[in-house]
Amino acid sequence: MSQPTVVNRIQKLQRLETVVYTMDKIVTGEKQSEIFPDFLAGDRLLMLVHGEVIAGIDFATLKVSDVHVQDRTVRVHMPQAQVLVTRLDSGKTRVYSRQTGWLVPTDPNLESQVRSEAEKELLQAALADGILQKAQENARATITSLMQGMGFVEVRFE
């Protein structure tokens, strides 16, 4: 098996999604008045969010020089795992509670701000739980299986 053929087979994987991290969380957001108490001028939102973070490897960055073939051994310098997608599931995300003061209209931007903050918290939780390390391990297992299926006896990663 030639080096360009091996690189071509790996690149055909394109963007390999290897870990999906899901989370349900309750998040809050609020706007307060500096002058009036909350029951008159506050706006508070309690939201139950469901989201996911998907991590994996983008093999579009793999170069021919990243793969070395020698007899039945292949060495692969894999790209680093990265977060590919962070998103909230709108179908499962719900406003649980909303309290608006008597003197103010509902702030139309508050829900968007809470959703944006929830996405950031979801990403941080996934990173803290080691999503990138797990994505790298899973990608190595996938590439090892692919290479063994192509007839290689030994697969090494750099």
pLDDT of residue 72 exceeding 70? yes
Which 3 state secondary structure label does DSSP give 25? Answer: strand
**Rounded Cα–Cα distance for residues 141 and 138 (Å):** 5
CB 10 within 8 A of CB 146: yes
- Provide the residue range defining the domain that includes 61: 3-157
Tokens of 9: 């087979």
Give how many domains the chain has, as a whole number: 1
pLDDT in tens, 6-65: 888 888 888 888 999 988 887 876 666 666 655 565 677 778 888 999 999 999 888 889
Closest CA relative to residue 142, chosen from 111, 82, 72, 134: 134
Span 65-91, average pLDDT: 91
